[in-house]
Amino acid sequence: MIRIIAGGKKNSDWGKTACDEYEKRLRKPFDITWEFMDEEKLEKKLEKWPFDNGDFVICCDERGKNISSGEYASLLNRSFVESRNVVILIGGAYGFSEAVREKANFVWSFSRLVFPHALARVIVCEQIYRASQIMGGGKYHHE
């Protein structure tokens, strides 16, 4: 199970349509649940750090590490093998504080570019689907 906690407004129609398309292709353990909250509530929630050692927390932030899709698939696979819950955090307009980035297990940058919330959510969904295909030997991903 992958839990995505996203700051900002809920998806635009086009973003939701794209995410829904990738999500309907997914099978366990790649099931996705979403939690949307405004940026202020998200920051307050993260100040208390509601996660434990059973959670593998990935923080999406432009100041993170840029990795390949294969490396991302390996990161998810390792979490599943270790029976850890995957939590993906998508921040607000200003990303995450240094304290949040330090607590996360992995800080992931899609690129040096900055993306709007809806597009970041689509990227996360597409990469989860791609990871499922890489791990399952599907034909979606090409090297």
Show the 3-state SS of the chain: CEEEEEECCCCCHHHHHHHHHHHHHCCCCCCEEEEEECHHHHHHHHHCCCCCCCEEEEEEEEEEEECCHHHHHHHHHHHHHCCCEEEEEECECCECCHHHHHHCCEEEECCCCCCCHHHHHHHHHHHHHHHHHHHHCCCCCCC
Provide mean pLDDT across the span 7-34. 87
pLDDT number for residue 84: 93
What pLDDT, on the 0 to 100 scale, is given for residue 24?
93
pTM of the model: 0.93
pLDDT, average across residues 70-75: 96
Confidence of residue 49 (pLDDT cuts 50, 70, 90): very high
Domains of the chain, each with CATH number or no CATH: 2-136 (3.40.1280.10)
Average pLDDT over residues 78-99: 91
